[in-house]
Amino acid sequence: MTRTWLLACALPLAACGGDDTPTAPTAPAKISTAPDLAGKADGALTARPLGRLAGTEAHTVTADDGPVAWRTATFTGTRFRVRATSPDGSVDPIILVRGPLPADPQAVYAWNDDAAPDAFDAEVEVTAPGFGAFEIVVGTYGQLQLGQTTAGQLAVDFECLEGCTQPTLPLAALLSQFDAAAVDGALTEALPALFADPTMAAAVRQQISGFFAGEADVFPVLPIAALSSAQPLLERAGDPAVEAPGPRSFELTALLTEACTVDRAARAPVHPALPAELTRGGWPDYTLDDCTVQRQRAFAEVLNNLALDNGSAVVHGPTRYESVEDVFVALIDAGHHVVVENNRYFANFLGLNYGEASLVAPVWIDTGLPLAGGGTLPIPAPHSHHSVTVTGPLVNAHIEYYMGVSGGVSFRSAENLSVPWVGERTAYTYDSAVDPQGVVARMTLAARLRRVWTERGQGLPALGYGQLGVCNDSTAVLELDAEGTVSIYPLAHAPTQAAPTDQVDTLLAQLPYDLGAPDPSALDRITRTLPYVGEPLPQLEALLGQAAAR
């Protein structure tokens, strides 16, 4: 109940609800059932989505435009607390926690009007039953109980108390779960499909057998020169490869109003002979609603088509945009905020899970760099991409740009959770609020590289992945253009003797090549590429130390 309502009840009821007939004041009753938000979703009272909550966050929002909503990701046992207060005492907050998602998005899982009998603050603590998300709706008594508009501010404090990130397990922890004969049978069937080279398949099988025998803690290890031949392994299962699309025309209003129905990523058992809890695949981020996912996919599709310079266009009213450059100039001019990040990770190429835990199972690559104690340096295969976040009046999307097995070099909707052990290092950030021309330049070059490599990849396996380059090459091209340096490893674009003919070829000709003899700059680039050193990959620090000592 609002404090102002209690005071106003000493006056004529007109002060409480607009009725001009004087009446005796009555004591307001406490809410005994959860407000029906769905029944009040009539425009002004629809909860405004404000994104994702994680860790510890504090926000102050205006209640003038209706209730607000956040989502938070959960795993079994995730426990979080939300508290809502009125900074000036002008409104009475109410919290609704809806879900769990995706199973029951409209159900009220928990709610609170008054945290104590003599208080108007609201507070909720929730323990999640499993993987998914919850929606946290915060509004006022007037909005959620009476269906009225309300003016005022709400202060919202969120704290995740337990189980705040996806659990991880080292692969070694599962040794007791596997039957040696079953593993041998699964490997016999799977490895030929992953490695076309029988020698490489046999070598990987030997490494894995050694691991299960307790003889090694770094596996599988692939020679750097075999990077391209292992391409079916070195990429998460995703969208099927597609041919270069023909010209398309996109109508912006239609893209923004299309009904939201999407299929999310799914995990599948690795092999019938292995425990069913062992799966492979990504984890959908249910803090993103279906409409957000669909809009992101549509935005990426628009950019991918425009980048090919094949006659595609996006139309908004009387205006027609025919290039990626046109789109980003228009978005920034229309008040959108665009942030581009150059990010580095460990690659989760195998994508292995056990129950809700992500298995710490990187693919290691042998760099060929000598170690002080003998042998050569293996490192977990790195992955890099550019993250592009757009927020504004028309487009709100988070997409990634990199060269992959599916779709070649392209823009991709970022809609899965990033498992904790892959880490993240942001090397460079380009912000339209600071340097709009720099943001446009990054995206314009990204489009040009997509066009060049899509044309050259026609007829090649996976549109040229491993031959034209890998994810790190597409990231390095943009880095070299923007920063005048390359700090990423490994790079797979083959050296060319031809004279550069355009911007893309000029940049490609300057990239180091890592699939041959070790490059003198390799160790420095490795240390600048790896997102972290230490747990849960404790071997890495000692290995890098031995390489530096050499």
> What is the SS3 assignment for 173-190?
HHHHHCCHHHHHHHHHHH
Quick check: is 206 in a domain?
no
Pairwise pLDDT comparison (183 vs 439), residue with the higher score: 439
Higher pLDDT residue, 203 or 96? Answer: 96
CB distance 70 to 124 below 8 Å: no
List, in order, residues 6 or more apart from 538 with CB less than 8 Å away: none
Q: Residue 334 above 70 pLDDT?
A: yes
337 assigned to some structural domain: yes
Indicate the pLDDT class of residue 9, thresholds 50, 70 and 90.
very low
**Does the pLDDT value for residue 22 go beyond 50?**
no
| Residues 380 and 431 occupy one common structural domain | yes
pLDDT for the residue numbered 80: 98
For the segment 289-305, the average pLDDT, to the nearest whole number, is 92
Residue 228 belongs to what domain range?
A: 221-549
pLDDT of residue 266: 87
Nearest Cα to Cα of residue 16 among 1, 35, 32, 33: 1
> What would the mean pLDDT of 281-301 be, rounded to a whole number?
93
Instruction: Count CA atoms within 13 Å of residue 419 on its CB side.
Output: 27
Q: What is the torsion angle, in degrees rounded to the nearest 10, for the CA atoms of residue 70, residue 71, residue 72 and residue 76?
A: 140
55: left (phi over 0), alpha (psi -120 to 50) or beta: left
Asked if residue 154 has pLDDT above 80, the reply is: yes
Residues 432 and 464 in one domain: yes
pLDDT of residue 193: 65
In-domain check, residue 528: yes
Considering only residues 416 and 176, tell me which one the structure prediction assigns the higher pLDDT. Answer: 416
Give the pLDDT of residue 101: 96
The alpha carbons of the chain give a radius of gyration, in whole angstroms, of 27
Per-residue pLDDT at 268 exceeds 70: yes
Closest CA to 512 of 485, 536, 538, 530: 485
Residue found under tokens 């071997």: 539
Domains contained in the chain, number = 3
Residue 14 has pLDDT above 70, yes or no: no
185 in any annotated domain: no
Confidence band for 191, pLDDT divided at 50, 70 and 90: confident
Please name which of 270, 272, 171 lies closest in space to residue 212, comparing C-alpha atoms. 171
Query: What pLDDT, on the 0 to 100 scale, is given for residue 213?
Result: 75
The model's confidence at residue 241, banded by pLDDT at 50, 70 and 90, is very low
Is the same domain home to 390 and 523?
yes
How much is the pLDDT for 346? Answer: 97
Residue finishing a domain among 162, 195, 229: 162
pLDDT of residue 104: 93
Tell me if 363 sits within 8 A of 378, measured CB to CB: no
- Residue that wins the pLDDT comparison between 15 and 467: 467
Q: pLDDT for 79-90, tens place per residue?
A: 999 999 999 888
How confident is the model at residue 205, as a pLDDT?
79
Q: How far apart are CA 277 and CA 531, in angstroms?
A: 29
Q: Give yes or no: residues 51 and 13 share one domain.
A: no
At 115 the pLDDT is 83
Same domain, 50 and 75: yes
For residue 28, pLDDT beyond 70: no
Peptide bond into 220 cis (omega under 30): yes
Same-domain check for residues 318 and 377 = yes
pLDDT score for 240: 47
16 shares its domain with 114:
no
pLDDT of residue 373: 86
Are 375 and 396 found together in one domain?
A: yes
Computed over every residue of the chain, the mean pLDDT equals 85
> What CA–CA distance (Å, rounded) separates 148 from 544?
63
Would you say residue 168 lies in a domain? no
* Residues 234, 279 within the same domain: yes
**Model pLDDT, residue 228:** 61
Same domain, 252 and 139: no
The predicted-structure confidence for 113-122, as pLDDT tens digits, reads as follows 988 877 789 9
Q: What percent of the chain has pLDDT over 90?
A: 58
Task: Give mean pLDDT, residues 207-218.
Answer: 77
Span 94-129, pLDDT tens digits:
999 999 999 999 899 999 998 887 778 999 999 999
pLDDT for res 13: 26
153 and 238 share one domain? no
pLDDT at 499 over 80: no
According to the model, what pLDDT value does residue 443 have? 98
Q: Do both 23 and 48 map to the same domain?
A: no
Please answer whether residues 202 and 222 qualify as being in contact, where contact means their C-beta atoms are separated by less than 8 angstroms: no
For residue 152, pLDDT beyond 80: yes
For 349, 370, 420, 499, 522, the CA distances from 345, given in Å and listed in that order, are 11, 24, 10, 33, 17
The answer, yes or no, to whether residue 332 has pLDDT greater than 90, is: yes
Residue 197 counted as domain residue: no
Reply yes or no on whether the pLDDT at 40 is more than 80.
no
The CATH number of residue 144's host domain is: 2.60.120.380
Res. 215 pLDDT band, cuts 50 70 90: confident
Q: Tell me the three state secondary structure of residue 426.
A: strand
Q: What is the pLDDT of residue 446?
A: 98
Model confidence band, residue 495 (pLDDT cutoffs 50, 70, 90):
confident
- Residue linked to tokens 């680039």: 525
What pLDDT score was predicted for residue 340? 98
pLDDT above 60 (res 49): yes
- Confidence (pLDDT) at 44: 46
Residue 16's pLDDT is what? Answer: 34
Whether the per-residue pLDDT at 384 is higher than 90: the answer is yes
